[in-house]
Structure 1
Amino acid sequence: MRTSHVFLSAAASLLALSVSAPSLAKDAAAEVTADENVANTEKAEIGAWGIDLSARDMSVTPGADFFRHVNGHWLDTVEIPEDRSRYGSFDILRERSDDQVHAILDDLAARGDGADALDQKVGAFYAAWMNEAAIEKLGTKPLEPYLAKIKAVSDRAGLLKLFGTVGYASPVGVGTLPDPANPTRYIVAAGQDGLGMPSRDYYLKEGAEYDKFRAAYRDYLIKIQKLAGISDAAAKTDRIIALETALAKSQWEPERQRDIKQIYNPMNREQLMELAPEFDWTSWLEASGFGKVDTIIAAETTAITASGKLLETVPVSTWKDYLTAHFISDNAAYLPKAFDEAKFDFFSKTLRDIPVQKDRWKRGVDLVNSNMGEAIGQKYVDRHYPAESQRQMTELVNNLTAALGERIRKSDWMDAATRGEAQKKLDAFEPRIGYPSKWIDYSPLVVKPDDVLGNVQRAAKFAFDVDLARLPHPVDRELWEMNPQTVNAYYNPLLNQITFPAAILQPPFFDPNADPAVNYGAIGGVIGHEIGHGFDDQGRQFDGSGKLRDWWTKESAEKFEARTKLLKEAYDKFEPVPGVHVNGQLTMGENIGDLGGLEMAYSAYRRYVASHGEQPVIDGLTGDQRFFLSWAQVWRGKSRENALREQLLTDPHSPTQYRVGGVVPNIDAWYKAFDITPDSAMYIPPEKRVKIW
């Protein structure tokens, strides 16, 4: 059992110009000189007031391709760094956060024994990773105790015990989450798992590109087994891949996994035995630490059943080979360089077109963030999160929720009963900004300065045990699913919470010294996006308490679904990679979040204007124009083709260009701001524009 939880997809959130165009509309009442306003925003980090005007392609009009109009020069001149699969606003800010964390880690290393116990532990975790000479000297010795457990297995009961052990692969993953039927308590969920490549499509899709991936995967598994001294690696690999392909054939498509109605299947022990008797659930759950649990959510039911049949029909020896290869692969980065490079060559170079491995210190930052993130987060907040950001963010969130409330009250497609329930849910929203109110206690975690693989395994077990200890108790609403130094945000429908870590509250998303229109178009849109998840195609099925409950009238639900169907059809037509389209159903929730979020953010901006006065024209751009420019700047980015291919197959987020181009043509204010006419390529007739929130 790997350490990642089985997250029900529907219950997880997250989730990255100097001359005005002659046709741009201007509000005469707002007309002032640029210099007059810039004097108030001269400390903005990007440009004079928050937008990089030099990034635009002025040969492209806003109505022809708004994403390119705002970002075209940047797209043409900025190269994706060799160690990345994609690059854009999110990545640039993540680099900044990584640099900040790196400085903290270097400080801890310099203090050595003079640091307090927690700091020493963080420093030792990082130092163990950075000590490449020690890793090379140890060779494959760190693997031995873990592989010995696999070697000792003699029957299917032994397999089940390892499936339930943290750190080992399993065809079915098990983890905890708040119960959708009663989100004040935790419940255990089980769901499909166990593939080595990113998704079922990599095993099943036809075409030369996927044949290449499968051949490279075979070569990779053979190589790492040989490096570990395992005999007959080729034959074992063929059996492993045959097993994984059989698993893939039964697994659900990612868009189906999003459907909470299909994946919420609570079962008692007797029902689980009927679903997949081969798993001997009593023994398996006991081995996993869930021996006292009576009810389990069985997510992808048919995939679980098929996995059980494979457990019975596939020889134990093949399952042992599978466990061995997966353990080596999962931990290849913590072994000598030959293992690490083999993993990089397949997962990064082949699957994502990344030519160069990231600097080791950057990967060390990722490692510490993943395993002891809140220990670093406390120091990050002290150094890099100003109180003024908290104040302005609170104002922004209040304006966003007020704007959505107004939009709900004025909705012409919701009936009174549904509007009332929607307002109740909005009133119950809980925003969390910056950092958690309490921190994880890492004192039980054992960290050794010469055992990087052991440190990672112990950290995984520590995290699992922390969750396991919470299981009998009421859900803790103070916990965070992201570190403060994470550049992201999320909505949790089971707790009706929106969370914005400190690291995303920096330019280009948020700058306390930037033009207000820029902040509303950037972080305002992100806040709106996360609020919008509470009302997307899956989030709308939860009420204000986080309970899975249908609070919609039949008429309002049908009208909502008719609107989202139009959005799905629009996104289905986008084809960023030849032959691979955006999956409008898989990306539905994020697309609704983007559209509704920007609508909310614009309404909130107009509320700000109503209370603070019409905003001045700056550099020939009105406040409304700057608002939309800011949204497009946030989503500035480009990807390598194979990384984009993987995103299209597995990721519920649309590629960045469609988070702009798929959204703004549905917003009336965008047309007015830029004088978009019916002869523009992006023009959508008013009656065909999708309007949800």
Structure 2
Amino acid sequence: MNTRFVAALMLGVASATLGPIACSMAGTDTADVATTPGTELGIRKDWMDTSAKPGDDFFQYANGSWVQNTEIPADRSGIGGFWIADQATEKNLESLIAEIVASDPEPGSDAAKVKAFYQAYMDTKAIDAAGLAPVKDDLARFAGIADKSALAQVLGSQTRADVDPLNATDFRTENLFGVFVTQALKGGEVVPYILQGGLGMPEREYYLSSDQKMAGLRTAYRAYIADLLKAAGIDNADARAQRIFDLEMKIARAHVSREESDDWSTASSLWQQSDFAKKAPGLDWDAFFKGANLDGYKTFDAYHPGAITGLSRLVASEPLDAWKDWLAFHQINSHTDVLPSKLDDLHFAFYGQKLNGQEKQRARDKRALAAVNEHMGDALGKLYAEKYFPASAKAEIQGMVDNIKDAFAKRIEALDWMAAETKAEATKKVQTMEVGVGYPDEWTDYSALQVPESKPYAAVIAAEKARYRQQLAKIGKPMDKSEWWMNAQLVNAVNLPVQNALNFPAAILQPPFFDPKWDPAANYGAIGAVIGHEISHSFDNNGAEFDSTGTMRNWWTDADKKQFQAAGKALAEQYDAYEPFPGLNVKGELTLGENIADIAGLQAAYDAYRASLNGKEAPVIDGFTGDQRFFIAYAQTWASKMREEALRQRIATDGHAPAQYRALTVRNMDPWYKAFDVKEGDKLYLPPEKRVKVW
């Protein structure tokens, strides 16, 4: 969901939404759903391993049978609660796509463009027959670079709006720099952010780590580069591959770490366009900005200032031929899905199998659907919401959000360590949050996007450039607090720090996160915790740096900040102790923002649940008390199985802790101990003074 749940909520793949409510369920249409509270158990007893002691392994207790009896599909690197919801959504989308393809949509309409894009992507025979012809002009453009000034212009022309450091913790781009557009971190105007890029593997850890498995992946990656160049018919492939790999090693050394990327306090450097030549000499910045269509803008957020300087220096110091080879490789590598099958197969063999442990490539129709979601997501999302998400649900879900916001505000007011002035700003921040439910009020306009029929490579390039133009059009204008950063058909949710806003897409409002038939305990424990999580991101170690207007400033007293940081340190140490593989521990600091949001959000959801009972005790259903159902439902949203390769990648690069440890958030809550009679001596027991309470 985002960061801010998972890119990733995984609550990802970042940042990641009570009472009776209505929402879409798999297979429903837009008819109103009953709004009376449900009475069904909600939790899945068949997922549980009741032979496990809750106080020793709560994840096993809640999900043990599911883990034992569920196989990871060959085309997946991992599965879990989000995958379950996504499967239901995918079936709805497949039905919707089938209707669009069988129809005769009006020329130029969104449906017509979706149809043309999908059909072109599906025509693998035509793709294979075209060979490398679709990318020929781009490769010739790179080969024709005559000097470093021309190189800078081409590097600029490759730039896309393909990163999102604030909402999705997505820092990865194969272009030398990535662009993100929103309000400056320290407030004021909407500006373009410039981020580090240029790597083919997930991030610099893969290039610089001394870990034996990482070293093996480097060897495999270097071989993959050569194999892809050979398959593309590029001569001297082995020598070129070595040049490309050597250049990427130097790019990796210029990058800042993943932990530094997550530290927004160091990423708020506003540079004027004229500053780049002085602060980051080496690259012809005038040529770069002109190529990137950024030459008309004055102010930029240099999100990775040190890396920008280092990468610019490399443009000057490294041979022109190395950069030309690097450009050719990455243009092919980032578009193998719309190039001949032999290239696509090589790409999967490395990225799918070697990096993520997948055994099998996903079916082409499912990949085509994913490509439409990526490149024309709002066009498909509008059609999806009209068919599967009732308009009445927006107001109902809003009511649930309001309940949990109220609970969070009361938690702030009850803090005995926080000064009155800090409480006032924190409360204002909660009260003024912009909450988007289901889908945006205004959909993306695709009228300027031309989708050429039967030309999938050209269609993808056109969609990339269209999104880039859409994002650049926001620069210099007032920030739109209601802007959405997720598609309605995405199973996720997100906190938007500079907008002080939340998005809860329609697709997450279904099992195992929500069902109107469930008893409120299960809904509060599942979707309620998601909502609390996203609200709490505004108060995690990064979100707490922003005030109620979305401006990064210090609104804390020194004593309050010290107390807050101490709680964060204790939580980080708690997660540092989790060790999924011998010698490989979860990174408590890297995952701290998500872990703070988990515990604060779960506490707020629990308070809202108890308030909904109006002083009464919940009924016992099928032998489970209300509190037990609440905590089990929470843990079951984190049902998960991952292949070893994918789990190792998650730990190395992701700001989200593995799901099995997020389920253990409960050990910081006193009511969990009472609900399951957890006592000293149980493996998950924490003494009361060790139970972290951030908010």
So what's the TM-score if we normalise by structure 2?
0.92
Q: Which residue of 1 aligns with 2:676?
A: 674
For residues 164-202 of structure 1, give each alpha carbon's deviation from its aligned partner in whole angstroms, at most 9, with x where no partner exists: 11468533323322112225x311221211001011111
DSSP-derived class of the 1:491 partner: strand
Q: Say which of 64, 69, 73 aligns to 2:61.
A: 69
Identity of aligned residues (%): 39
DSSP-derived class of the 1:176 partner: strand
Q: Aligned partners of 2:445, 2:139: CA distance in 1, in Å?
A: 30
Q: Is the 8 A contact 1:124 1:447 kept in 2?
A: yes
Cα pair distance change 1:198/1:13, threshold 3 Å: closer
DSSP-derived class of the 1:339 partner: helix
Q: Aligned partners of 1:672, 1:530: CA distance in 2, in Å?
A: 27
Q: Which residue of 2 aligns with 1:545?
A: 549
Q: Say which of 385, 408, 414 aligns to 2:412.
A: 408
Q: Which residue of 2 aligns with 1:159?
A: 151
Cα pair distance change 1:188/1:420, threshold 3 Å: same
Q: Say which of 504, 509, 515 aligns to 2:508.
A: 504
1:279 deviates by 1.8
DSSP-derived class of the 1:173 partner: strand
Q: Which residue of 1 aligns with 2:165?
A: none
Q: Aligned partners of 1:95, 1:294: CA distance in 2, in Å?
A: 45
Q: Which residue of 1 aligns with 2:289?
A: 285
Q: Which residue of 1 aligns with 2:484?
A: 480
Q: What code does the residue aligned with 2:523 have?
A: N
Alignment of structure 1 residues 516-595 onto 2, 5 Å: 516-595=520-599
Q: Say which of 172, 180, 184 aligns to 2:185.
A: 180
DSSP-derived class of the 2:98 partner: helix
Q: Aligned partners of 1:269, 1:96: CA distance in 2, in Å?
A: 47
Q: What code does the residue aligned with 1:633 have?
A: Q
Q: Aligned partners of 1:562, 1:472: CA distance in 2, in Å?
A: 39
1:398 deviates by 1.1
Q: Say which of 655, 659, 662 aligns to 1:656.
A: 659
Q: Aligned partners of 1:174, 1:115: CA distance in 2, in Å?
A: 32
Q: What code does the residue aligned with 2:582 have?
A: P
Q: Aligned partners of 1:80, 1:387: CA distance in 2, in Å?
A: 35
Cα pair distance change 1:13/1:99, threshold 3 Å: closer
Q: Is the 8 A contact 2:150 2:287 kept in 1?
A: no
DSSP-derived class of the 1:278 partner: coil
Q: Aligned partners of 2:663, 2:117: CA distance in 1, in Å?
A: 41
Q: Aligned partners of 2:182, 2:489: CA distance in 1, in Å?
A: 23
1:498 deviates by 0.9
1:114 deviates by 6.4
Q: Which residue of 1 aligns with 2:693?
A: 691
Q: Which residue of 2 aligns with 1:21?
A: none
For residues 5-55 of structure 1, give each alpha carbon's deviation from its aligned partner in whole angstroms, at most 9, with x where no partner exists: xxx989998644xxxxxxxxxxxxxxxxxxxxxxxx9999x9953211011
Q: Say which of 164, 171, 175 aligns to 2:176.
A: 171
Q: Which residue of 1 aligns with 2:71?
A: 79
Cα pair distance change 1:530/1:87, threshold 3 Å: same
Q: Aligned partners of 1:12, 1:360: CA distance in 2, in Å?
A: 24
Q: Aligned partners of 2:3, 2:519: CA distance in 1, in Å?
A: 36
Q: Which residue of 2 aligns with 1:323?
A: 327
Q: Say which of 122, 136, 140 aligns to 2:128.
A: 136
Cα pair distance change 1:10/1:633, threshold 3 Å: closer
Matched, 1:379 2:383: yes
Matched, 1:244 2:248: yes
Q: Aligned partners of 2:54, 2:97: CA distance in 1, in Å?
A: 44
Cα pair distance change 1:11/1:90, threshold 3 Å: closer
For residues 266-297 of structure 1, give each alpha carbon's deviation from its aligned partner in whole angstroms, at most 9, with x where no partner exists: 11234322221212322221221111222222
Q: Aligned partners of 1:117, 1:644: CA distance in 2, in Å?
A: 42
Q: What code does the residue aligned with 2:618 have?
A: Q
DSSP-derived class of the 2:375 partner: helix
Q: Is the 8 A contact 1:392 1:512 kept in 2?
A: no
Matched, 1:462 2:466: yes
For residues 295-353 of structure 1, give each alpha carbon's deviation from its aligned partner in whole angstroms, at most 9, with x where no partner exists: 22212222222112211111101100000011110111111110110000000101110
Q: Is the 8 A contact 1:56 1:73 kept in 2?
A: yes
1:153 deviates by 0.6
Q: Aligned partners of 1:475, 1:440: CA distance in 2, in Å?
A: 16
Q: Say which of 597, 604, 608 aligns to 2:601.
A: 597
Q: What code does the residue aligned with 2:110 have?
A: L
Q: Say which of 615, 625, 630 aligns to 2:628.
A: 625
DSSP-derived class of the 1:324 partner: helix
Q: Say which of 263, 267, 275 aligns to 2:267.
A: 263
The worse-fitting range, judged by mean Cα deviation, of 121-130 and 205-214 is 205-214
DSSP-derived class of the 1:475 partner: coil
Cα pair distance change 1:277/1:12, threshold 3 Å: farther
Q: Which residue of 1 aligns with 2:645?
A: 642
1:211 deviates by 2.2
1:261 deviates by 1.3
Q: Aligned partners of 2:35, 2:556: CA distance in 1, in Å?
A: 47
Q: Aligned partners of 2:548, 2:7: CA distance in 1, in Å?
A: 16
Q: What code does the residue aligned with 1:630 have?
A: A
Q: Aligned partners of 2:644, 2:4: CA distance in 1, in Å?
A: 28
Q: Is the 8 A contact 1:202 1:214 kept in 2?
A: yes
Q: Aligned partners of 1:567, 1:266: CA distance in 2, in Å?
A: 32
1:527 deviates by 0.4
Q: Aligned partners of 1:416, 1:87: CA distance in 2, in Å?
A: 45
Q: What code does the residue aligned with 2:52 have?
A: V
Q: What code does the residue aligned with 2:641 have?
A: K
So what's the TM-score if we normalise by structure 1?
0.92
Q: What code does the residue aligned with 1:100 have?
A: N
Q: Say which of 115, 120, 130 aligns to 1:123.
A: 115
Q: Is the 8 A contact 1:167 1:327 kept in 2?
A: no
Q: Aligned partners of 1:681, 1:395: CA distance in 2, in Å?
A: 38
DSSP-derived class of the 2:150 partner: helix
Q: Which residue of 2 aligns with 1:274?
A: 278
Q: What code does the residue aligned with 2:358 have?
A: I
Aligned length: 659
Let me know the Cα RMSD of the aligned residues: 2.2
1:382 deviates by 1.5
1:465 deviates by 0.6
Q: Which residue of 2 aligns with 1:190?
A: 194
Q: Is the 8 A contact 1:10 1:258 kept in 2?
A: no
DSSP-derived class of the 2:539 partner: coil
DSSP-derived class of the 2:251 partner: helix
For residues 351-401 of structure 1, give each alpha carbon's deviation from its aligned partner in whole angstroms, at most 9, with x where no partner exists: 110000001111011000001111111111112113454343222111101
Q: Which residue of 1 aligns with 2:27?
A: none
For residues 448-494 of structure 1, give each alpha carbon's deviation from its aligned partner in whole angstroms, at most 9, with x where no partner exists: 22100100000000000111122132222332111000000000010
Q: Aligned partners of 2:566, 2:7: CA distance in 1, in Å?
A: 24
The worse-fitting range, judged by mean Cα deviation, of 591-600 and 96-105 is 96-105
Q: Which residue of 2 aligns with 1:297?
A: 301
Structure 1 residues without counterparts, runs of 5 or longer: 1-7, 17-40
1:431 deviates by 1.2
For residues 119-141 of structure 1, give each alpha carbon's deviation from its aligned partner in whole angstroms, at most 9, with x where no partner exists: 11110100001111111111111
Q: Aligned partners of 1:53, 1:148: CA distance in 2, in Å?
A: 60
Q: Is the 8 A contact 1:43 1:513 kept in 2?
A: no
